[in-house]
Amino acid sequence: MLRLSGQGSTHTCDGVTRRDFLQAGMLGAVGLSLADLMTAQAQGDVAPGHDERSVIMIFNLGAPSQIDTWDPKPEAPAEIRGPFQTIKTNASSIEITEIFPRMAQHADKFSLVRSCYHTAAAVHDTGHQMMQTGRLFTGGVITPHAGCVLSYLRGRKSDLPAHVILPEPMGRTGGNLPHGQDAGFLGKAHDPFALMADPSQPNFQVPDLLPPAQIGEARLDRRRRMRSIVDETVKNFEASDSAQLLDSNFQAAFRLMTSTQARAAFDLSKEPPQVRERYGMTRFGQCCLLARRLIEAGVRFVTVNTFITVFDEITWDIHGSKPFTSIEGMRDIVAPMYDQAYSALLEDLVQRGMLENTLVCNLAEFGRTPRVNPAGGRDHWPQVWTQYFAGGGVQGGRVVGRSDPMGGVPAERPVEAAEVVATIFKSLGLDLETKLPGPQSRPFPLVDFGKREIEELF
């Protein structure tokens, strides 16, 4: 993902640096890419009544243990079932572990898929690729995030970007591979807007939604003069694709910077204190609240990364020894934060009449080993894990597929990554037969290998 915040030093003949241009025209200080600022052309077929559908993708970076969360095995031996008790929910078909008491009261709103799996390497990065794009990256082809596909096919609704990532793109997770959170071969014009800020901080704001004070009108004038110089002296450039992209991005950037709608959508101070506290004053909690505000304001797709890295912080990555997390750390820190924020999001969407048109999908890169390791944790396990969906036409209170009694492999209805991404596209009303303009201008199918949605969810 391109971030326009580098220390450029190229000067034009009137003294404007490349960095000035990027800061003023492209909002570089918060890490926006060219795509964040460009109006995409709506393309592709849309099912009737689905154009208003939106998505909040919560990506549980680090990979929760299926057995300790949403696929408990109370009859298994102690070294398999782990330390947590199983509790009933308000949906008769669903039981989860005791570390999610609030979610248990909302199980009628979401449905679990307990038989997800993949056969790629058991590293975080490959799972990130597959679950967000539907494909493992091979042959140098980087396929686009589902939200970037939506940006390409439908464009933005308003001054706000079509796709936003909160709080920032995925960072280092050990594999040194792409994570699948950009537009790939669709081009930078459809990359997401990356917030690059923590909305739980007391003075949180997105200052570059207005011309930065440190730039001032004089520097903005120089930026306008630079454009004039380009227009007058480089006629061939003016007719090029690069020039058209530059002009489109400048206009979109200026519109975003001066948009009262955009400023209002990102302004969490407009929320009553009790609403913010309901979500929890954590980074994840406030990102979930901000996601609701952005969807309400017209953003089509919001990706919320529960965590940014698996190193040196308490996450879902429960290997049991430092720099990773213990099962107890997940119980005491991660689960309460997650339980509160996710439950508040579902409640809020229902109360505002938004859930039917907002798909909330909770994904992860893989699961965890059925057997607890010697450090008291669980290791990487792509053979089976649980993901779940709410809203967007999905029926709540259901369980699709099941794992074997040890929680080690699918025992019924195995679900692949392409089917998960197809489910997102189906909720949005996209025609799964749509072709994207892939590498070397060859058609690229929206969903790989002709996979379909998880139809049992609808």
* Residue 41 pLDDT exceeds 60: no
C-alpha 426: how far from chain center: 17
Give one DSSP letter per residue of 418-458, joined into a string: HHHHHHHHHHTTB-TT-EEE-GGG-EEESSGGG----GGG-
Domain map (residue ranges) of the chain: 32-210+258-457
The band of 97, judged by pLDDT with boundaries at 50, 70 and 90, is very high
Please answer whether residues 420 and 134 qualify as being in contact, where contact means their C-beta atoms are separated by less than 8 angstroms. Answer: yes
The residue among 328 and 46 whose pLDDT is bigger is 328
**Under CATH, what is the fold of the domain 32-210+258-457?**
Alkaline Phosphatase, subunit A (3.40.720)
Residue 19 pLDDT:
38
The band of 448, judged by pLDDT with boundaries at 50, 70 and 90, is confident
Residue 332 pLDDT:
97
The one-letter amino acid code at 102 reads R
The answer to which of 39-48, 232-241, 278-287 has the lowest mean pLDDT is: 39-48
* Residue 200 pLDDT exceeds 50: yes
Strand-pair partners of 111: 389
The band of 440, judged by pLDDT with boundaries at 50, 70 and 90, is confident
Average pLDDT over residues 190-205: 93
In the chain, pLDDT over 70 holds for what percent of residues?
78
Give residues with Cβ within 8 angstroms of 233, minimum separation 6.
Answer: none
CA distance 455 to 61: 26
Residue 52 pLDDT:
86
* Residue 273 pLDDT exceeds 60: yes
Residue 424 pLDDT:
98
Averaged pLDDT score across all residues of the chain: 86
pLDDT tens, position by position, 218-245: 666 666 666 666 566 555 555 555 555 5
Average pLDDT over residues 371-400: 97
CA distance 377 to 391: 33
Residue 26 pLDDT:
37
CA distance 66 to 52: 33
Please answer whether residues 112 and 398 qualify as being in contact, where contact means their C-beta atoms are separated by less than 8 angstroms. Answer: yes
